[in-house]
Structure 1
């Protein structure tokens, strides 16, 4: 059995993770441990507080007791808002607190883009424009060329968590760009696990979503390979 511990802020789309467990159809386990979201706002000051080291450390003991082999801070905005170096320090602090390999959803996106061999990406974000800009800057620091970045202006994770499949399909189509090799949907509050192949079919290219790449990153850290085509191109290779 492989257990990936996930630290998730508040409650919005955490039910994606048991759904991913089912789609993986293996002995992989994805226990979710909730951190204090504080103020639910896609606003820089609130996001910096949400991703503070002490808040992430609060869930570490439960995670260890669950037998986690790796841990991922399952929050994109609460990591990239610190910038590349700040996000690295965040994951270092988490690794030290947990005594385990650690990462975040922001780094998961960077590593997943590289794993797909892509260089040009489009961002289809639920966030306000300024927060989306921080994600774009993070991706550029990772070496990706961002050819388009669409901001939807949604302020709270709670609202994002209510989006239905048709709204997510509309978002990925609107955020796509002809020059992009892959489209990124960066919000872990967005439900996507149940229809990843449909998202990719809608734009005719790989789509990376926050909860998908979070699981993939945790498995990468645990050195566990997984094959599950229903989770999109990222999980569709046996290599």
Structure 2
């Protein structure tokens, strides 16, 4: 089984970012960057399937500037076999990313596609679902457990009312949730070996796709500060505040 894993370069979760004064974007100059946490979980899931001798090859792909090769090398150090860098200087929307991955799925013919359920910068939670629709593959979103059984993959999802298990016929698309696994750290020998693993660079223009943006960001702003909560002694006091202060009754 070949597994294709899509990863994204984002600002490290430990970095506190703030919007630019003009609201046109976020101030991330010199900020520490890392692999999206949900993508790390997807990479770990692929590696575990390979350790179980279910998967035979793991291909990681990322879209962006040359800087994303740092995260691709990290994935190779963790255990991926080769990497694809789709080179572009322009940020892409979820639909555009799904279109790019669709082309790669057609070229690579993987039996399983793994993605993080969302990125912590955009928080769209759309790419995996769009990719499954473009490919015509069954999908399992927010996976907390993955188990391969013959020509099917069983995906357990956490819902508000409990757990749901789906039997997906391969090939399939799965997006990973936090409870699926705990990503490992790369060892120094594997970091050195990752330098020798193949990393192909493909210009985005070579894919011949229509990736015109369909979304427009009007402004970015920090959330407004909320007043500190207070403890009330009775329901009558709560009703009084709702009526006199909040003016909602």
TM-score by length of 2: 0.36
Which is richer in strand?
Answer: 2
Instruction: Provide the TM-score with structure 1 as the length reference.
Output: 0.38
